[in-house]
């Protein structure tokens, strides 16, 4: 077992699996991650939100208010989080390509914050910081007193900030000049909040996340971010490699890390200051957003949590960055609830809880199959080094969508969930065999 005492002097973000000591927890689901839509106010290099305008429009038309507007006869979000808490769930998080605090996403995020608090659950939010003003933090704190914020900053050099965070056509414009100034104006509110949480919990309320972009991020950029970290009160600083788009991994491309980027990663590696890793060895690492805490996968302890995407009909996906290869076409909550409404059946919390139980089974099966095929990988995010992981997930989704059209499982059938799991087991075997051949 990993000796966690070696990390005892590291700064830690309070409401994260490490901050909550979930590595010692083996009592339930643990982490429930929700995505927001991909709408964002920036166009950061290393993120592909700006290239998906059609998807963003589609997501915003679908919205997330169906979870809590009463159209299903119950507050679906409340029922989901109630089930999660009853199963030993400990932490709710929001992470995705889009940003949670912009107006297009904020209504859902505020409701998620309120409902998490109602169940006694802390919330972890990821943001670029521009909308994380004192006023916004006060409103969110009034809804839930237990929130941690992870803020993405790629450089602390003001005249290089737009080069990282805006598309080329917007760089070196008057609006670009004001970007970093807007960020700096929020520092006071962040410091005040961080000190409050630090006093209450002994851990931080604010963390900074920086991903290193090959051939772009320099040591000067990293030193400038380090200065920001110090200004904020030596808050946790998570440094990771830049990711890769799912469309590239599906073409069997993998991440190529340059020597200079690798050296920066080694020099500024601060893990596990907040959330990403628990250990050094290959079987001592785990993406804590998709699972309830640390455990080696050869010991099948506990269950996985899931990533839930309300903007794509309530699909589940293995990672917040895997919206393109989620279960939308064959297993989603909205189709399940719509079918019940069409049949005149009253929707209850129990129905929603049962769907969620099976959603966890679905994603656990897919996750374990990916590891069986490709070998252990501590994180399924866009920086995965193994394209075969995404190929398996995509292949399973295609096979299952085909089976749904063939009516091998039908939402209206009393044996619906049993049939889904049986077909998924078969589909995984078929796709894994093809990829392993």
Q: Which domains does the chain have, with CATH numbers?
A: 9-436 (3.20.20)
At 92, is the secondary structure helix, strand, or coil? strand
How many distinct helices (H) and strands (E) make up the chain?
14, 8
Report the 10 Å Cβ neighbour count for 353: 17
- pLDDT at site 170: 56
Res 437: pLDDT: 54
CB atoms within 10 A of CB 267: 10
Buried b (16+ CB within 10 A) or exposed e, 268-303: bebbbbbbbbbbeeeebbbbbbbbbbbbbbeeeebb
Q: Can you tell me whether residue 89 is helix, strand or coil?
A: coil
75-100: average pLDDT: 90
Residue with tokens 């002994």: 202
Average the pLDDT over 345-370 and give the result: 91
Q: Which residue has the tokens 């380090």?
A: 226
Predicted local distance difference test score (pLDDT) of residue 286: 45
Q: In terms of DSSP bridges, do strands 123-127 and 31-34 run parallel, antiparallel, or are they unpaired?
A: unpaired
Residue 406: how many CB atoms within 10 A of its CB? Answer: 9
Is pLDDT at 308 greater than 60 in this prediction?
Answer: yes
More confident: 430 or 297: 430
Q: What is the mean pLDDT of the chain?
A: 82
What is the percent of the chain where pLDDT is above 90? Answer: 47
Report the predicted TM-score, pTM, of the whole model to 2 decimal places.
Answer: 0.88
Among 154-168, 219-233, 267-281, the range with the most confident prediction by mean pLDDT is 219-233
Handedness of CA 129, 130, 134, 137 (dihedral sign): negative
Q: How would you list the strands of the sheet with 147-152, edge to edge?
A: 237-241, 206-212, 147-152, 123-127, 91-94, 31-34, 306-309, 315-317
User: H or E stretch including 34?
Assistant: strand 31-34
58-62, 158-162, 342-346: range with highest mean pLDDT: 342-346
Residues 398-422 have a mean pLDDT of: 97
Confidence of residue 399 (pLDDT cuts 50, 70, 90): very high
315-317 and 306-309 as β-strands: parallel, antiparallel, unpaired? antiparallel
Asked if pLDDT for residue 288 goes beyond 70, the answer is no
Q: From CA 1, how far away is CA 25, in angstroms rounded? A: 14
Between 114 and 257, the higher pLDDT residue: 114
Whether the predicted pLDDT of 270 surpasses 80: no
Number of residues that make up the chain: 437
Distance from C-alpha of 179 to C-alpha of 193, rounded to nearest angstrom:
22
Token pair for residue 278? Answer: 């628990």
């Amino acid at each position: 077992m990993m000796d966690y005492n070696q990390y005892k002097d590291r700064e830690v973000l309070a409401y994260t699996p490490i901050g909550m000591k979930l590595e010692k927890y083996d009592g339930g689901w643990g982490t429930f991650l929700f995505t927001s839509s991909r709408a964002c106010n920036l166009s950061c290099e290393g993120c592909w939100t700006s290239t998906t305008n059609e998807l963003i429009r589609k997501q915003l038309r679908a919205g997330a208010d169906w979870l809590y507007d009463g159209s299903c006869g119950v507050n679906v979000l409340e029922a989901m989080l109630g089930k999660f808490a009853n199963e030993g769930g400990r932490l709710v998080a929001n992470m995705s390509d889009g940003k949670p605090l912009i107006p297009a996403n904020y209504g859902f995020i505020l409701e998620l914050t309120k409902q998490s608090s109602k169940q006694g659950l802390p919330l972890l939010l990821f943001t670029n910081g521009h909308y994380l003003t004192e006023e916004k933090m006060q409103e969110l704190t009034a809804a839930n007193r237990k929130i941690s914020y992870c803020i993405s900053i790629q450089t602390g050099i003001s005249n290089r900030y737009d080069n990282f965070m805006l598309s080329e056509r917007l760089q070196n414009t008057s609006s670009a000049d004001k970007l970093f100034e807007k960020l700096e104006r929020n520092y006071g509110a962040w410091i005040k909040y961080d000190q409050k949480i630090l006093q209450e919990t002994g851990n931080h309320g604010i963390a900074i996340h920086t991903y290193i972009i090959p051939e772009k991020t320099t040591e000067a950029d990293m030193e400038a971010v380090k200065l920001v970290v110090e200004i904020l009160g030596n808050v946790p600083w998570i440094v990771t490699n830049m990711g890769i788009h799912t469309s590239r991994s599906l073409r069997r491309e993998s991440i190529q890390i340059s020597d200079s980027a690798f050296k920066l990663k080694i020099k500024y590696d601060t893990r596990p200051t907040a959330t990403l890793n628990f250990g050094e060895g290959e079987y001592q690492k785990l993406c804590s957003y998709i699972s309830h805490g640390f455990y080696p996968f050869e010991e099948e302890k506990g269950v996985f949590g899931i990533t839930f995407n309300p903007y794509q009909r309530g699909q589940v996906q293995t990672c917040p960055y895997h919206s393109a290869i989620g279960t939308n076409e064959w297993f989603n909550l909205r189709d399940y609830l719509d079918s019940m409404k069409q049949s005149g059946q009253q929707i209850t919390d129990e129905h929603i809880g049962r769907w969620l139980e099976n959603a966890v089974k679905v994603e656990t099966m897919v996750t374990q199959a990916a590891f069986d095929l490709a070998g252990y990988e501590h994180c399924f995010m866009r920086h995965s080094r193994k394209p075969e992981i995404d190929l398996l997930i995509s292949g399973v989704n295609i096979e299952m969508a085909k089976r749904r059209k063939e009516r091998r499982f039908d939402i209206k059938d009393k044996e619906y969930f049993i049939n889904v799991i049986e077909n998924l087991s078969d589909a995984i075997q078929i796709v894994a065999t093809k990829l392993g051949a």
